[in-house]
Amino acid sequence: MEIRPLAALRTADDLSLAFNPYGLGGRMEPEDAAEFQQRQIADCDLAAGVAPGTRDSFERLRTVFAYGVLCYDVYTVVGDHALLIYEQALRDRFMEWCAGTIAFRVSQAADVSYTVTSYDDVKKHADRMTRRRAKLVVGTDAIEFNGMLHGLRRWARTAGLLRGRRSRAVEEALAKLRNHVAHPSGHHVDTPVGAARTVRDLAELINQLWGQATPDGRLYPAPLHREIAVLSWNTSGRTRMEPAGALTAPDSLDDQEDDEYQHLVVRAIPFIPGSRWNDEHWAEFDTRYETTRFPTEYLWGPGTRAEARAWLDHERPEGDSVDFTDRIFLVQEHERLLPPMRPAVAAGLPDAERIGVWHAVRADFPDDAFAHVRGSGDRSTGHARRPGDCPACSAEILGSGTHDEAFRAAATALGPIQAVRLPSVRLPSSLLWPDRP
C-alpha cells in the first residue's frame, strides 16, 4: 500500500471533477464539485418513524458520499453499501411489523407462533419452519418465507408496505445487485451518477416501508394532483387542453370564433415542466377506455364553450389527488384486442357488449396492461397466463375468462364496484390507441 501524505488525501480526484451538471466534459473546480455532488442527494431525507439502525446506516452513507470528490472509489463503496442497507431496512421494518410475535401456518394443523426479540430469532424459526414447508402468516395470507432477502421482499409486498407494479421490477434488480455485492465474482466501478441514483432509490424504498411516499418520486411517487381542465377539438382534428380558468379569463377565446370546437370538462394531471409525471397522452382521452397515461375523470360534455363555462360557473368542481399505481384494468378480446377499461365502466356495459374473453390485470399504466395481454397470446414471449405476477413485464394477472369471471377477479381485489354509465365520447385524434370501436 502506498502511504500518501495528508496534502494528497485532501486533493480532489480528477475523475470526480469531470462530472458536472451538464454531464461529462469540462472540469469543475473542487469547491464547486463538492457542492454539486452533495446536492445530488441532499433532499433524500428519511421519514420521522424510520428505525434508528436503518437511519444511522443511511446517514452514514450520505456523509461518506461527500468524500467522493477526494477519492473516486468512494462512489463504488457508497453504491455497494447502499444495496446492503436495502436488506437491513427490510429486517428493521419486519421487526416493527411483527411486534415480537411471528406465526406460521402448517398444513392440516393449527398455526404455530413464536416470540422473537431480534431478527436472528426470526431467521432461526424461519429456517426450521421452511423445512416443515410451513408458511408465514401475513394478515389473511400465508407466504413462503425463509428469512432471506427474497422472503423479506415477498413479505413487504404481501403486507402492503411496498406498492407499484413497475417498482417491483426495480426491487428485483436491486436484489440481484445486492446479491452480487454480497457474493462478488468480478470487479466493477460505480460513477457519481450511479451511486447517487442508488442512494435516492434506497431513500424512496425506506420511506415507503415506513408509509411515506416521495413527492415526484421515481419508484414510490406521492399521489398526483389533478386539476379541472377543458379538452377541445374541432372537425379538422386539432386538439387542445387548457385549465378551466382560461374559459373565464379576460383574454379567453371568443365564443363565436370557437363555435367549431367541442369541449369536455375533466379532472386531469396538468402539464408541469420538468416533472417526470406529465400526461403526454391527454389527447387520447376516451370516456369508455383508459387511454390517457394517468387517470382522467370525465365531468361534463361535450358542448360549446359557452355551455362549458356555464356548467363550470354553476358546479364549481375542484381538483383532487390520485394515486396511479397498482390500478386494475379489464381488457377485452373480441375479434381484436381492445384498450383497457375501468372495472366500473365495464360493469355498466349492456349484455351485448360483454362478449369475448376478458382479462383482469393490475398495472400502473393502461399500456402496461394492454402489452401484457397482447404478449400473453404468444407463449414464446414468457408472459404469464395464470394469476400472479408476470415475470416478463410489470403486470399482475388477477383472472381471465368471461366478462363476469374477470369482473369478479377485479371485485375481489377492489371490493364492491359501483357501475358507471358515461356518454361515449373521445377526442378524434389518436396515435397510441387508433384501433377502437
- On the question of pLDDT at 35 being above 80, the answer is yes
pLDDT per position as a tens digit, 210-224? 999 999 899 999 999
pTM: 0.90
pLDDT per position as a tens digit, 247-296? 866 555 555 556 688 999 999 998 777 777 888 889 999 999 999 999 99
Contacts of 32 (CB under 8 A, 6+ apart): none
Least confident residue range of 9-13, 294-298, 338-342? 9-13
pLDDT per position as a tens digit, 303-323? 999 999 999 999 999 999 999
Helix (H, G, I), strand (E, B) or coil at 59: helix
pLDDT per position as a tens digit, 169-208? 999 999 999 998 888 887 888 999 999 999 999 999 999 9
Burial of 137: CB neighbours in 10 Å, binned 0-12, 13-18, 19+: middle
Pick from 266, 332, 325, 320: nearest CA to 293: 325
Residue 9's pLDDT is: 76
- Buried residues in 258-292 as b, exposed as e (16+ CB within 10 A): beebbbbbbbbbbeeeeeebbbebbbbbbbbbbbb
The phi and psi torsions of 22 (rounded to 5 degrees) equal -105, 10
Q: How many C-beta atoms lie closer than 10 Å to residue 37's C-beta?
A: 22
Residue 137 and residue 104 in contact, taking contact as beta carbons nearer than 8 Å:
yes
Instruction: Tell me the C-alpha distance between 349 and 118, whole Å.
Output: 54
